[in-house]
Amino acid sequence: MPSTSRTVPFVTVDVFTDTRFAGNPLAVITDARDLSDTDMQRIAAEFGYSETTFIRPPQDPENTAEVRIFTPVTEVPFAGHPNVGTAFVLASQGQLFGKPVEDHIRFEEKAGLVEVSVLRGPDGKVSETTIRAPGPLAIGATLSPEIIAPCLGLATKDIETRRHKPVFASVGLKFILVEVADLEALARAASRLDPLTALRQAHADEDCDCATFLYTWVGADHLRARMFAPFDNVAEDPATGSASAALGAFLTTLRPAPETRHLLVEQGVEMGRRSLIRLAVATRNGLFDYVEISGSSVLMTRGELLL
């Protein structure tokens, strides 16, 4: 049996749900001070979740923590459910590196500072966390239905283009946003690696792993969505806050919007892990200003990694 030189604490949570075994699983390494980049990548691959977060003391003591986010294959600058879930974990434990964790949290991340607010119930327990996406809206190339449909195992007619064509967009992490015709088309979709590889090569200048966020409207402010990211070793993601935020921001460019529009994104239904992502998309003088991402989380496990 190999000897163990150190232990590293972790917590896992289900994010964008208040029900265990639903939502999007997340592993949070609550003390990553002694971990190298290689250690973090290996741990993220071991958990195999869409993302794992690693907590370090902040570089600026005015902030709460530095947060590193890894998929099973790479580090990413920002992601939604890792921030929502990590804030839930730290606010619930109440202390971090010997300091109290307040209900206003600031994370230092590759994409910039991420502001988080914590909502507590009458019992004092964390009921919801809300993050503000750190980046401005960045819109890239548009794609034709004929190009994107084969990447999703769909027919051209399944791609809805009356409001917009499929498009690269980001508020911190880039996705391809694709509106599909209806729930039936959404259910049939499946990522196809060969055409997606060709698409990625053709649009290498987008610097995007071609994670694809599909959605359809089921109400005036209610969407159903799915997300495929095969190049990140994520066949399908049950909840993608950063993609939802990019979509909410992008929608403000399509028609006049109120100063704040509230959207509900339902995801993970086809996987049996229903998630609910709440967005508040703010505009100023008719232009996108910022987007906030809110959701609940529930604790699943606590333990130690033996390294």
Domain positions in the chain:
7-131+296-306, 138-295
Contact present, 265 and 279 (Cβ < 8 Å) = yes
| 66 carries an active-site annotation | no
pLDDT tens track for 161-185: 999 999 999 999 999 999 999 999 9
Contact by Cβ (8 Å): 195, 266 = no
For 52, half-sphere exposure in the C-beta direction (CA atoms, 13 angstrom radius) is 26
Q: Each residue of 48-81: pLDDT tens digit?
A: 999 999 999 999 999 999 999 999 999 999 999 9
pLDDT tens, position by position, for the chain (307 residues)?
555 678 999 999 999 999 999 999 999 999 999 999 999 999 999 999 999 999 999 999 999 999 999 999 999 999 999 999 999 999 999 999 999 999 999 999 999 999 999 999 999 999 999 999 999 999 999 999 999 999 999 999 999 999 999 999 999 999 999 999 999 999 999 999 999 999 999 999 999 999 999 999 999 999 999 999 999 999 999 999 999 999 999 999 998 767 899 999 999 999 999 999 999 999 998 899 999 999 999 999 999 999 9
> Which residue in the list 51, 108, 179, 266 is annotated as catalytic?
51
C-alpha torsion angle, residues 242, 244, 247, 251 (rounded to 10): -130
Q: List % helix, strand, coil for the chain (3-state, nearest 5).
A: 25, 40, 35
CATH number of 138-295: 3.10.310.10
- Tens digits of residue pLDDT in 230-257: 999 999 999 999 999 999 999 999 987 6
Residues 267 and 223 sit within 8 Å (Cβ to Cβ): no
Q: Which CATH number fits domain 7-131+296-306: 3.40.30.10, 1.25.40.10, 1.10.10.10, 3.10.310.10?
A: 3.10.310.10
Q: How far apart are the first and last CA of the chain?
A: 13
